Amino acid sequence: MGINQLKEIIMASSKPKVIRYKHHSNTYVAVMKKNKGKHRQSCLCYSCRLFHPKGPKTNCGLAQLLFSICCIYDIVTPVWECPNFIADKNKCISD
């Protein structure tokens, strides 16, 4: 095996695998295979005391707005940084 073949193998293995599946509204969406189904694990909202996804009137305003955008465009947007975050001590360890 030559150096060029090794380079091709390395480059091919570093490319993300993208798959399509039917989302909530029966729209097909694309996602990196390694990330499918991991939204809750990486979204800060799920560790926040202000997050009440089943109660739009009591939910965090930012989370509710983001959820509305997600529904309109059939996207998933985990939150990694947020100015309104208040740690829920039952769901995370915070400093």
The CA distance from 33 to 19, in Å, is 6
Sign of the Cα torsion 29, 31, 37, 42 reads: negative
The alpha carbon torsion through 60, 61, 64, 70 (nearest 10 deg) reads: -120
User: Total structural domains in the chain?
Assistant: 1
Do the Cβ atoms of 92 and 40 come closer than 8 Å? no
* pLDDT in the model for residue 26: 87
53 φ, ψ (degrees, to nearest 5): -65, -20
**CB neighbours of 61 closer than 8 A, spacing ≥ 6?**
84
3 in a structural domain: no
93 lies in some domain: yes
Which 3-state string (H, E, C) describes 64-89?
A: HHHHHHHHHHCCCCCCCCCCCCCECC
Percent of the chain whose pLDDT exceeds 90: 69
User: Is 20 a member of any domain?
Assistant: yes
Domain with 92, as residue range(s), is 16-95
Do residues 65 and 51 lie in contact, with contact meaning Cβ atoms separated by under 8 Å? no
Q: What is the pLDDT of residues 46-86, one digit of tens each?
A: 999 999 999 889 999 999 999 999 999 999 999 999 999 99
What pTM was computed for the model?
A: 0.75
